[in-house]
Structure 1
């Protein structure tokens, strides 16, 4: 059971340290800018710049790894991320911070790609599920650990930035000292927007809405907590509990989604999320325990939309196209995560912090009307659908599809050049999900 943890300790340790630094930095910047009276739009812009860097970093990462190799590119990007964090302590101009957040997102995408491609290549087929689960645990525990570090060092001075820099520098050590064999050169997955939009439109819409909400959450949930009278430690605990809730419910929901119609589950999840967010609108004050309780409930529902939509999309796309599908879904998610913080920040600035959860209810309501289970045709489903549900981290790179245990290993040429039209056996093409 624990053999993957023994086999890949360096990669899991590096992942945990990376995500601890990322989670700490995102929450710290939101609380710091709020304490200094900076507008919520700027806070949202910082988060949007980070996700824009993640989206743009995919192409950059492929070229960097192909040119310099996995370890060298990882070391270079971890060094750049450390420098970018320390520059926050030396430069206080918000415009410069936006650029630094973009750079951090771009170089961290390279780090994700290094770790995920390494895990994929050296994980045996029979261990792939456990390896992927171990990676999920490292991602979520890292994010929660970052909130814990901020709770232990609540002063919004330069000390949290030093902790982030320590995490980013420390994640170099496991990979630099590993004796594992270098993985092979990465192969880029093509994006066929027209094909995927015709085949899985409801999944893409759900992924985009999840990006709008989760991107806004990471940037503005600390601001929401602070504006509701919570101090730094309480705000970091609030964010940590929301993330932990999503992690705890992944596997039970996965068990349920393998036995029920996934489009109905997405719709039901959106309905419950729409209602669960209502007490957080700010219509009446909530005590601290109620904020934590509602935060846990909304986090539980919010962080399950993405893996449900990924599973539904994989049910309708043939196996040779699934690496490209993952790249398409992550790009869609990244675009939503860039836009979401800007919209939420603007509305929170002009109205009140409760607009953050008003938007979550609004996006969930749109999903209820967008995801129409009766229109999900069974014709384009792959033969083995429904596929086994696998919880997906929302911080993954396009390489995560290769690590997903639902995607069997296929010849390289099938992954790079998928057939132009894959549809029904009679030669016609079914274009509705």
Structure 2
């Protein structure tokens, strides 16, 4: 597949991966720990547990709003400065939560945090995706996802030794985020040139791959509840905060371990078929969680669920970027993040209100995976029946 790239104007091959990947890794450890810390630490700040799904949804609502206006910030400041600004904004939200621990303040802070995280994602994703071939994009995105999910898995393990009560765990998060700022602050070279970035027209957006957009949407529908509600579900399931940390880390570890496989398979086969297969195995993981009788089987099921859930977004975003100009990569990643954010906002609310069953969250995840699996199988079979090659296509 030939990608229309203006190499001379964008010089994508000179983009350094060091600054975004190292900064992202520290951010991921902090973010992974924080995502589980917030729902588990509410009682220590005198807040009610009924706030959990709302905190998750408003965070992703902030992510959604951020996804609509990040491009202009990147265009004006450049990737490096934008990275610093959004990390600083995220740090300020944690300071606000610690200073004024009330429901209204925390909801406001999580909304702003969502906006800041949207900026971090768009900056890092577009920085890495400004490469000169589909194969290099897949490789770089695999590095991005491995750093993101590996750091998030490591962050989950902090629940046991660092704890979940009081201010200390949040100071730990602040320290990690300050370390994340150091690479873009100290290293001023290696960012992509962004003066040629172009916004996609409505007619071009309509031509984006529908499986790609749906893949990002479903990724949000899955990962929003996994990050926002799963810690509480696992705690109720196991009765142990330490096991909650281990199993949450296992989920995200699955997401990290699958990335090399995604990078290898994504350029070689139909991406719709690949997403269908991951959804199928994810549904099997859901059955394993419901039927497991031992901690070993439970851990393996969560590992598989994480691998399949976290595989969808990188496949979908590379599918969306495969046939667009380099100058429109930032705009495309913004649109894909918008789709992800819509799913992430709706996911926690849908999962928490599905039923009164203690396994409502798992039933919800299974339903999302099965329906998406069927859709992606249909789309991939349509390509074959119309005579189009399934290799590296939609």
TM-score band, normalised by the shorter chain? Answer: 0.7 to 0.9
Indicate whether 1:377 and 2:377 are aligned.
no
| Structure 1 unmatched ranges of 5 or more | 389-432
Query: Which residue does the alignment assign to 1:47?
Result: 56
59-68 or 204-213: which moved more? 59-68
Question: Deviation of residue 358 (structure 1)?
Answer: 0.2
Q: 2:118 aligns with which of 101, 109, 115?
A: 109
Query: Which residue does the alignment assign to 1:359?
Result: 364
Q: 1:190 aligns with which of 177, 200, 203?
A: 200
- Residues in 2 aligned to 1:310 and 1:381: alpha-carbon distance in whole angstroms: 24
Query: Which residue does the alignment assign to 1:252?
Result: 261
Within-5 A mapping of 1:34-433? 38-40=48-50, 42-119=51-128, 131-180=140-189, 183-185=192-194, 187-190=197-200, 192=202, 200-256=209-265, 258-281=267-290, 286-313=293-320, 317=323, 323=329, 324-347=331-354, 351-371=356-376, 372-373=378-379, 376-377=382-383, 386-387=391-392
SS of alignment partner, residue 135 of structure 1: helix
- Residues in 2 aligned to 1:313 and 1:75: alpha-carbon distance in whole angstroms: 27
Q: TM-score with structure 1 length normalisation?
A: 0.74
Question: Deviation of residue 311 (structure 1)?
Answer: 4.9
For each residue in 1:263-305, what CA deviation from the matched residue of structure 2 results, as whole angstroms up to 9, or x when unmatched? Answer: 3443333233223212434xx6744333212111222222223
RMSD: 3.5
Question: Deviation of residue 76 (structure 1)?
Answer: 3.5
- Residues in 1 aligned to 2:371 and 2:262: alpha-carbon distance in whole angstroms: 22
**Does the 8 A contact of 2:223 with 2:309 survive in 1?**
yes
Query: Which residue does the alignment assign to 1:19?
Result: 28
For each residue in 1:353-411, what CA deviation from the matched residue of structure 2 results, as whole angstroms up to 9, or x when unmatched? Answer: 4111100111122224423146523699999x7339xxxxxxxxxxxxxxxxxxxxxxx
Question: Deviation of residue 306 (structure 1)?
Answer: 2.8
Q: Judging by fraction of residues, say which structure has more helix.
A: 2
**Does the 8 A contact of 2:142 with 2:260 survive in 1?**
no
- Residues in 1 aligned to 2:279 and 2:92: alpha-carbon distance in whole angstroms: 40
| Structure 2 unmatched ranges of 5 or more | 1-12
**Residues matched between the structures, number:** 376
Q: TM-score with structure 2 length normalisation?
A: 0.81
For each residue in 1:118-173, what CA deviation from the matched residue of structure 2 results, as whole angstroms up to 9, or x when unmatched? Answer: 5566x787976655443333222221221122232124222111111111122222
Cα separation, partners in 2 of 1:158 and 1:381, compared to 1, 3 Å:
farther
